[in-house]
Structures are given as structure tokens and as C-alpha cells.
Structure 1
Amino acid sequence: MIEARKKPRQQRSQEMVERIVTAARDMLNEQEFKGLTTNAIAQKAGLSVGSLYQYFPNKEAILLELVQRWLAAFRPVSAFYAAKPRPENWTGFSRDFCAFTREIASVYAQNRALLPTLEAMQSHPELRRIAKDHDRGIIETHAAWFRNADPQLPADIASRLGMLVLETGNICFTIALMRDDTVYDAIIDDVIIMNEALLRAHLRLPE
């Protein structure tokens, strides 16, 4: 089980953890995860490796902190829209879905420095498990949202739609930000068009 040694409580300790995590994040943007070492992270953070080990037993524990920060940024957005009252018609659902997609895209943009953790988390079985558990929760939240909009929507179809909405956004927003974010706004519009076409084919809502 990967985990930090202790949670920082005092401001000075919190600042040290932030320096360590920021250094690791910056290094991930410069090189692959395999090239990281605790010595290199400590050096970039301006700390002794002994100070680093007070909080993190290894580089995987540091990556876990980055992964948790990345994943936690999305949960409130999905939960907010899933908890909204049932829309009266497609227009109301579409308005919420457009706002949801733009908020998710904004989370990607605001956390673009953490994007390399998406690839790095695949390097360790425990990190992959955490990511899968998170995705499963998001898919279930999406499915509940879609079934709230259309109570007659079968559960298996709702789950499939939830998965497709999650993965479509993840792939499109990640690639756009890592390659060329000058077309990011247009890609957001395209993702909305694609996913709305998919959802409209399954959700039975009055106009």
C-alpha cells in the first residue's frame, strides 16, 4: 500500500510538502516517471533527502499525492450536476450538460501541470487501482445523472454512456492541452456536440 509517512499539520511542514510535491510535478513535466528519484526530487525542492523521507517513503508516495490531487478536482463537478433536480425537457438537460462539460474542461486547463501524472500513474499497480476506482465512481455518478433525467433508461446503458462521456472528455482535453491548446475552446464545443448526439439517441426527454 502506497501512502505518505505522516500528514503535515504545522505551516512549516505543509510548506515542505508543497515544495516536494511541486518539485516532483515540475520534474514530471520535464521527464518520464522512471527518471525520477527521491534524491533528485529533494535536490530540486532544495531539501535534504532525509527531510523528504519524513513525509514520503518513496517516489511512488509522492506520485500518489499528485494523483489524489488530480482526481479530487473532478469529483465536486460531477456530484453537483448529478444532484440537480430532474430537467423538465431536453433544453434544460442540454443547458446543464454544456455547463458541466465546460467546467470539466476548465478543471483540465487549471490542472494542466498535473497532466503527466496520468501517464505516470500507469507505472504502478496500486496507482492504477486508485485511478480505476475513481473512474468507476465517476461513471456511476454520470449514470445516476442520466437515469435521473430519464428514469426509463436501463442501468447498463446509463453506465455505458457514463463511461463514454468520461473517456471522450479525458482523451480530447488531455491531448489538446498536451499538444496544442490554441484550439481548446473549439475542441470543447466539439466534445459537447459529440456527447450530446450520443445522449440524445438514448435519453427520452421532451423538447
Structure 2
Amino acid sequence: MSPLVREPQQQRSREKFARILSTTAGLLETVPFEQLSTKQIAAEAGMSVGALYRFFPDKEAVLETLEHSWMEGDLRLLAACTAPEEVAACTSSEQFLARVVEAYADRFRTLPGYRHVWFHVAKVPALAGMGDEVDRRIAERVHEVLVESFGLADTAETRRRAGLAVVLATRMLGMAFLHDPQGDPDVLADAPLILDRYFFAPPRRPAAD
């Protein structure tokens, strides 16, 4: 989160802070970020611009905080969909991967502003490191579950594949939701199949000299 953002301590201030974020997310459903103003956010949130500026110096700081909260949500979602009871309910590695893909797909459907920011707003440079860390933790946790519960070999190659699998899954989610706010069902159905086959593909043979 931007060091310029003032995080509130009192309950009333925390409520205003949260309202600014939720209002911005809702506005981004219909208003391009470039056209959005702090005045519009404040008015929609039922407060003065001065009240908004108590917490955020500009709309970019609001966006950064919103995206930061989404990344934190990504990690909470990871913990939820890889919990032991959730994994135990899956009868195959492909079913497990399908549940993970669907959990993240649902964010495009249910989080106000999420899909618009994903496709139409430039990534916040300050959050690049956090984004990389979230991807790394997703890769590590999914790999861990596949090894412990579905017999995936724990090797340097499968760990490398886990990192690339996150990149592939991210790309496929983007393809699924680019033109369809509910997600292209064919792409979403193919994604876990592709990921599962990739994870469990035979090791590559050493390159010939």
C-alpha cells in the first residue's frame, strides 16, 4: 500500500475508508478510470472531497489500495480452496485444479470493478513485487497439494512447472473473461485439463550434447 495513504485507526474512520474503496470499485463498473475523479468518488460515497483527502492524496492511491486489498484476498482465497477438507473432497488432481480455477474465476464475476481494472487499467508499479509474491505463493501451495494428495513427483522440474502453470492459468482466465463477464465456459473447462496434463507430463529428457 502506498506510504501516502493514511490508514485509519478509529472505527468511524475505518468505515469511511472502506466506503471510499467500495464506492470506487462500484464506479469502475461503468466509469473508465481515466475519467474518474476524486470529486465523483467522494460525492458517490456521501462525503466531501476533503474527507477523502484525509485518507488518500489522489485517485491513484485509491486504486493502489483497492488492488492491494484484492491481492490480499487472493491469498485468503488460496488458503480456503486448498484447505484439507476442500482437497479431500476432490477425487482427482484435475478436479482439484478445476476448483482452484473456478474460485479465482469467480472474482471476475463477483468483485465490483475487478474485471474492468484487469483489462483496462495499467498495472500499479508499486504493487509489482506483491503481485509476484502472490503468484509465487499460489504456485508453491498448489504444487504442495498436488505432491501430498495426488502423487505428483516433488522435483525441481515440477516446481518450475508450478510457477509457469500460474502464468498459464492467469492467461487463460484473461481469455475467458475478455468478452464474457461470466467467463467463456469452454476456456474455463479446458484450463484445469491443460494444467493437469502439464503438471503430470513425463519429465523432459536431457538435451543431447
TM-score normalised by structure 2 residue count? 0.74
SS at structure 1 position matched to 2:186: helix
Structure 1 Cα separation of the partners of residues 25 and 109 of structure 2:
15
Post-superposition Cα deviations, 1:49-106, rounded to whole Å, max 9, x if no partner, equal: 1100122233232112211232223223433565649x99x95333322333322322
> Aligned ranges for residues 120-135 of structure 1 at < 5 Å?
120=121, 122=123, 124-135=124-135
Check conservation: 1:63, 1:117, Cα contact below 8 A.
no
Query: How far did residue 143 of structure 1 move?
Result: 3.1
Q: CA RMSD in A?
A: 3.2
Which residue number in structure 2 is paired with residue 9 of structure 1?
10
Check conservation: 2:105, 2:173, Cα contact below 8 A.
yes
Structure 1 Cα separation of the partners of residues 132 and 7 of structure 2:
25
Residues paired across the two proteins, number: 198
Structure 1 Cα separation of the partners of residues 111 and 7 of structure 2:
25
Structure 2 Cα separation of the partners of residues 78 and 182 of structure 1:
21
Structure 1 Cα separation of the partners of residues 70 and 7 of structure 2:
20
Check conservation: 1:77, 1:103, Cα contact below 8 A.
yes
> Aligned ranges for residues 65-80 of structure 1 at < 5 Å?
65-80=65-80
Query: How far did residue 201 of structure 1 move?
Result: 0.8
Q: 1:6 to 1:91 in 2, by over 3 A?
A: closer
Query: How far did residue 200 of structure 1 move?
Result: 2.5
Query: Would you tell me which structure has more helix in proportion to its own residues?
Result: 1
> Which stretches in structure 1 are left out of the alignment for 5+ residues?
none
Query: How far did residue 2 of structure 1 move?
Result: 0.7
Q: 1:184 to 1:201 in 2, by over 3 A?
A: same
> Aligned ranges for residues 48-67 of structure 1 at < 5 Å?
48-67=48-67
Which residue number in structure 1 is paired with residue 40 of structure 2?
40
> What percent of counterpart residues are identical?
23
Structure 1 Cα separation of the partners of residues 176 and 152 of structure 2:
35
Query: How far did residue 154 of structure 1 move?
Result: 1.7
Structure 1 Cα separation of the partners of residues 9 and 30 of structure 2:
27
Which residue number in structure 2 is paired with residue 154 of structure 1?
155
Structure 2 Cα separation of the partners of residues 38 and 106 of structure 1:
29
Check conservation: 2:109, 2:182, Cα contact below 8 A.
no
TM-score normalised by structure 1 residue count? 0.75
Which residue number in structure 2 is paired with residue 98 of structure 1?
98
SS at structure 1 position matched to 2:184: helix
Query: How far did residue 191 of structure 1 move?
Result: 0.9
Check conservation: 2:162, 2:199, Cα contact below 8 A.
no
SS at structure 1 position matched to 2:193: helix
Query: How far did residue 135 of structure 1 move?
Result: 1.8
Structure 2 Cα separation of the partners of residues 61 and 181 of structure 1:
26
Q: 1:113 to 1:59 in 2, by over 3 A?
A: closer
Check conservation: 2:6, 2:54, Cα contact below 8 A.
yes
Structure 2 Cα separation of the partners of residues 182 and 53 of structure 1:
35
Which residue number in structure 1 is paired with residue 114 of structure 2?
114
Check conservation: 1:66, 1:117, Cα contact below 8 A.
no
Structure 1 Cα separation of the partners of residues 107 and 136 of structure 2:
19
SS at structure 2 position matched to 1:180: coil
